[in-house]
Amino acid sequence: MSTPIAPDFLALPLRACADAALQAATEAGASHADVRIERLRGQDLALRNARLERRNDAVTVGLAVRVIHDGTWGFASSPDVTVEEAARLARQAVDVARTSRPLNAEPVELADERVYPDATYVSAYELDPFEIDAPEKVALLSDWSSRLLAADEVDHVEASLEQVLENKFYADTAGTSTTQQRIRLQPRLTATRVDPSGGFETMRTNAPPAARGWEYLTGGMWDWESELAQLPALLLEKAKASSVEAGRYDLVIDPTNLWLTIHESVGHATELDRALGYEAAYAGTSFATLDQLGSLRYGSEAMHVTGDRTTPNGLASIGYDDEGVQTQSWDIVRDGVLVGYQLDRRMARQNAAALGTDRSNGCAFADSPAHVPVQRMANVSLQPADRGPSTDDLIGRVERGIYIVGDKSWSIDMQRYNFQFTGQRFYEIRSGRIVGQLRDVAYQATTTDFWRSLEAVGGPQTYLLGGALNCGKAQPGQSAPVSHGCPSSLFRGVNVLNTAREAGR
């Protein structure tokens, strides 16, 4: 049975506001207009040493109107969701477009899209976390924290839970109207060990954020019991581990770590607005420029990366984007070659000849009604190999190497080319066997060297969907949720740094 859209959102004058805004925009001379009415409900909980330290509850509601007038964008928004305000915003958006017209050197044209009247979408979840009382959530996080604190190896524990319920209504002058609802949340626990000399070491749970409901914490979708039980001993082993010797190693990278490398070195690099230089002033550009489409050897033939806004439980998954485009899946890197980008409707039309397509792949998103939609990241994922090897099989292929688990810090340049990444745990591999943990590990490469060193990807049994709730971009800044799936993967001859020595310690 599908989950119904929240009645209090449907009680807003959605269609009346949309009709008023679209009519006013058309009467003012707009060639295109679209309306978004949004409600974002958020709750953040944070505990320290099993005690509640912070609780934030917030609701954002608003209405946004975007128009094209004389080939120029206009935009206006307001927290007042009324018919009168909708019409006023439409006229204001047209005034903004008229004022901006002398500065616009590239007339705006949008790629065609089918009309979807009265479409609905609800993400897949069972229990709305906002229907669970906050004390029950705090009690669960406190219990988990207390279990960790009971171990001699753990001195401090921080726990947090971030939750979002997003509702969007969209309508445009072409006749599309969509009503959508999705849930996302991120639970996290971090254990800290302080040694007698005053040094410390931390280790965090590897459960990724997900577009799931409260069942993610209680329904067996992640093995919280095992992870919490193992964490203290793993933390002690890490604290006592030998510091890595810098050099070149073969790496087996777990999906709990590799998702972030995909996000930074592939996801951002294949956003077409970056490749075209639109984000140069803030979020950066890309080495993977449009003239290299179809020819850039991004990685080895084992590399098959897709963009997908339909992935089950993906954080970027939705039925229709913020330009009324039905979401879809497509290839970004196939057999190691760059073959696609992430697009919105304007970029699709403007670059159709070079792209070989005149349709957006549904990547427009605004993080609130106060912001204009921009091209944002899909669920960009490295595909597993059919009947591919297990993680143990990949480790068995390595004579001298490191198995990397969990994400931590990262650094990458503005062109998404030179990078280094660390992790939560690092296991030394000798003669195909894990012999213990290492510490102070970071792997460093250029994007193309790294992905060209990819020898093998694991099978579907090693695949995991990681991700983040807070991918940043645009001016004014916006934050977007996004998932990245990948299998365990084997990379040959990657440069490894000793972070303690690099820091002069």
User: Are 271 and 187 contained in the same domain?
Assistant: no
User: Are 166 and 67 contained in the same domain?
Assistant: yes
Instruction: Give the distance from CA 344 to its chain's centroid.
Output: 17
216 belongs to a structural domain: yes
The DSSP secondary structure of 441-489, one letter per residue, reads EEEEEEHHHHHHTEEEE--GGG-EEEEEEEEEETTTTEEEEEEEEE--E
The total domain count for the chain is 2
Kindly report the CATH number assigned to the domain that includes residue 74.
Answer: 3.30.2290.10
- What pLDDT was estimated at residue 2? 67
Digitized pLDDT (tens) for each residue of the chain, 505 residues in all: 468 999 999 999 999 999 999 999 999 999 999 999 999 999 999 999 999 999 999 999 999 999 999 999 999 999 999 999 999 999 999 999 999 999 999 999 999 999 999 999 999 999 999 999 999 999 999 999 999 999 999 999 999 999 999 999 999 999 999 999 999 999 999 999 998 877 899 999 999 999 999 999 999 999 999 999 999 999 999 999 999 999 999 999 999 999 999 999 999 999 999 999 999 998 899 999 999 999 999 999 999 999 999 999 999 999 999 999 999 999 999 999 999 999 999 999 999 999 999 999 999 999 999 999 999 999 999 999 999 999 999 999 999 999 999 999 999 999 999 999 999 999 999 999 999 999 999 999 999 999 999 999 999 999 999 999 999 999 999 999 999 999 999 999 999 999 999 887 7
User: Are 83 and 177 contained in the same domain?
Assistant: yes
User: Are 137 and 216 contained in the same domain?
Assistant: yes
Judge contact between 63 and 80, C-beta under 8 A: yes
Residue 12 sits in which domain range? 7-240
1 belongs to a structural domain: no
- Give the other-Cβ count within 10 Å of 203's Cβ: 26
User: Are 93 and 57 contained in the same domain?
Assistant: yes
User: Are 139 and 263 contained in the same domain?
Assistant: no
Task: Using DSSP, state whether 259 is helix, strand or coil.
Answer: helix
User: Are 198 and 337 contained in the same domain?
Assistant: no
DSSP for residue 326: B
User: Are 230 and 270 contained in the same domain?
Assistant: no
2 belongs to a structural domain: no
Judge contact between 201 and 235, C-beta under 8 A: yes
Q: Tell me, yes or no, if the pTM score tops 0.95.
A: yes
Domain boundary among 185, 211, 240: 240
User: Are 277 and 209 contained in the same domain?
Assistant: no
Which of 161, 127, 155 has its CA nearest to residue 142?
A: 161
353 belongs to a structural domain: yes
Cα distance between residue 400 and residue 403, in whole Å? 10
Which of 391, 377, 363, 362 has its CA nearest to residue 464?
A: 391
Give the H or E element holding residue 240. Answer: helix 224-240
- What pLDDT was estimated at residue 40? 98
- Give the other-Cβ count within 10 Å of 389's Cβ: 21
User: Are 350 and 263 contained in the same domain?
Assistant: yes
446 belongs to a structural domain: yes
User: Are 303 and 391 contained in the same domain?
Assistant: yes
User: Are 279 and 370 contained in the same domain?
Assistant: yes
199 belongs to a structural domain: yes
Return mean pLDDT, the chain: 97
128 belongs to a structural domain: yes
- Which string of b and e fits 230-261 if b means at least 16 CB within 10 Å? ebbebbbbbbebeebebeebbbbbbbbbbbbb
Judging by beta carbons within 10 Å of its beta carbon (0-12, 13-18, 19+), is residue 23 exposed, middle or buried?
middle
118 belongs to a structural domain: yes
Domain boundary among 240, 266, 288: 240
Ramachandran angles phi, psi of 410, nearest 5°: -150, 160
Domain boundary among 205, 240, 275: 240
Q: ∠391-393-396 over CA atoms, to 5°? A: 115
- What pLDDT was estimated at residue 503? 80
Task: Using DSSP, state whether 323 is helix, strand or coil.
Answer: coil
